Amino acid sequence: MTLLPEAPALPLAPAPTVRPRRLRRTAALRAMVSEHRLRPAQLVAPLFVCHGTSVRRPIGSMPGVAQISIDSMLDREVESLLRVGIRSVILFGIPANKDAVGSENFDPDGIIPRALRRLRSLAPELCLITDLCCCEYTSHGHCGVLRGDEVDNDATLEVLGRAAVVHAEAGADILAPSGMMDGMVAAIRAALDRDNFAERAILSYAVKYASAFYGPFREAAGSTPAFGDRRQYQMDPANSREALTEARLDISEGADLLMVKPALAYLDIIAAVRRESTLPLVAYNVSGEYAMVKAAAAKGWIDERKVVLESLLSMRRAGADMIITYHATEAAGWLMEDAL
């Protein structure tokens, strides 16, 4: 055994005068200086509605999430989220039939208008948001009308305007176009105003990336494209300046709220859009983010409650006012317990 040579004496560092730990010493101190907070009213619960009676069809890759029919199944779901203080839902519809233009999206008796009417009478105070995209309704699974193998931007705008009016008529408070068509906000605003829905708001999926994190959603909504992918209309994950171009455009077209999607891998984008605009900003905590947390939690590898609340708080810290999340009901329940 060899003895280590004696270490040279280190110069003495002065004792720190600034000590951030002083304000972390007790729970009361920590609570007093806490900067950001998550409240149930800031969470939006996504719901997948389908035709049929007494249907509750679980989504394999999204434990706890199911396609539900518009009857007591939907009522039960909504009652449980109202109980924990959630006041807003975003609806996705599973149509009976799909066709080239996605007709059920603008059918006044389609899946979304039916769900809206039931929810309006069940819970008049609930904020109802509808996703206006075509991909759940088209036979090819793309987010608009095709011309050849490409989505025809301007033909799709007309479809979006019609769907917006139909959803507004059935009771939607906020219309949320997610198809990343150029000019979609202006087209929807014009259609709504023309039909006397000037007071209904538009939440633009302004900054939406072509992301692999949407995988489980496409199983839930049956909206996987039949060929190709969405890179001709959704954004390249390599780009951040372009996010500001998209946000500015939608602001100028009359968007009332902006969204960044996905959330966790795009917190820098949320922060950048927050600095750019004073409009309310929404983060979409997407299906793949949810699936990863659920899978790790099921294996006992993470503390689900803490990981979920920490992730949602990170979106608020980045600058999101509201968060669309599949964790909504559970997270709101935990927040209520923590508040007791």
Provide the binding-site residues for ligand PBG, judged by CB under 6 A.
131, 133, 135, 143, 178-179, 214, 217-218, 223, 230, 286-287
50: burial class by Cβ within 10 Å (0-12, 13-18, 19+)? buried
Q: How far is the CB of 21 from ligand PBG (least distance, A)?
A: 39
Which is closer to ligand PBG, CB of 59 or CB of 84? 59
Which residues lie across from 240 on neighbouring strands? none
Q: How many CA atoms lie within 13 A of 204 on its CB side?
A: 27
Q: CA–CA separation, 128 vs 174, rounded Å? A: 6
Cis status, amide bond into 237, omega within 30 of 0: no
Helices (H), 14-140: 27-32, 72-83, 111-122
Q: Which amino acid is at 40?
A: P
Token pair, residue 201, equals 């708001």
CB of 324 to ligand PBG, least distance (A): 8
Cα–Cα dist 203/91, whole Å: 13
Which residues carry out catalysis? 208, 261
Residue whose CB is less far from ligand PBG, 286 or 331:
286
Distance separating alpha carbons of residues 144 and 154, to the nearest angstrom:
9
Instruction: Please say which residue, 75 or 218, places its beta carbon nearer to ligand PBG.
Output: 218
Specify the residue, 69 or 178, whose C-beta has the smaller distance to ligand PBG.
Answer: 178
**Cβ-based neighbour number of residue 126 at 10 Å:** 19
Nearer to ligand PBG, 189 or 261 (CB): 261
Tokens linked to 146: 């095709």
- Smallest distance from ligand PBG to CB 107, Å: 18
Contacts 24+ apart (CB under 8 A), 216-220: 216/59, 216/61, 216/62, 216/287, 216/288, 216/290, 216/291, 217/62, 217/286, 217/287, 217/288, 219/59, 219/60, 219/61, 219/62, 220/48, 220/59, 220/61, 220/62, 220/65, 220/67, 220/92, 220/287
> Looking only at Cα atoms, what is the longest distance across the chain?
89
Q: How far is the CB of 235 from ligand PBG (least distance, A)?
A: 11
Judged by CB, which is closer to ligand PBG: 296, or 336? 296
Phi-psi region for residue 141, left (φ > 0), alpha (ψ -120 to 50) or beta? Answer: left
How near is the Cβ of 280 to ligand PBG at its closest, in Å? Answer: 19
Beta carbon nearer to ligand PBG, 197 or 217: 217
Query: CB of 197: closest distance to ligand PBG in angstroms?
Result: 22
Q: Could you tell me the smallest distance in angstroms from the CB atom of residue 288 to ligand PBG?
A: 6
